[in-house]
Amino acid sequence: MKKPRLTDIPQPVKEKKPKGRFHEGSTQVCAHTVSFWYRLPARKRIDKDELFRMTEHAEERAKEMIIQGFVQGELNYETDRFQATGWWRII
C-alpha cells in the first residue's frame, strides 16, 4: 500500500520595510488610486509645506508616467536643502 504524499504549503513571506523616516500617502491620478512613498533624509527637519510639495510632485510624476502606460515608477525629489527618493504604484 502506498503512503500518502504530504505536500508542503508555502508560507507567505513577510516583507520587511526599510528602516528610516518616510513620507507616505495615496492620491487619485487619472482615475486610478496611486500610493507613494519617499524616504526622507535623516536629521533634516521637513515642514508640512515641503511634504505637501512632495505629494504634488508624486501626483505629477505618476500622471506623466500613467499617460505613457506605466503602472509604477521611481520618484526623485530634490531641493537645495535635501534629496529624497521613493516609489509610486497604482493600487
In a domain, 2, yes or no: no
In a domain, 68, yes or no: yes
In a domain, 12, yes or no: no
In a domain, 26, yes or no: yes
Residue span of the structural domain in which 31 resides: 21-90
In a domain, 86, yes or no: yes
Tens-digit pLDDT profile for residues 14-59: 666 566 789 999 999 988 999 999 999 888 889 999 999 999 999 9
Phi, psi (5° rounding) for residue 16? -95, 130
In a domain, 71, yes or no: yes
This prediction has a pTM of 0.74
- Are the C-beta atoms of residues 85 and 75 closer than 8 Å to each other? yes
Closest CA to 67 of 26, 23, 34: 34
In a domain, 66, yes or no: yes
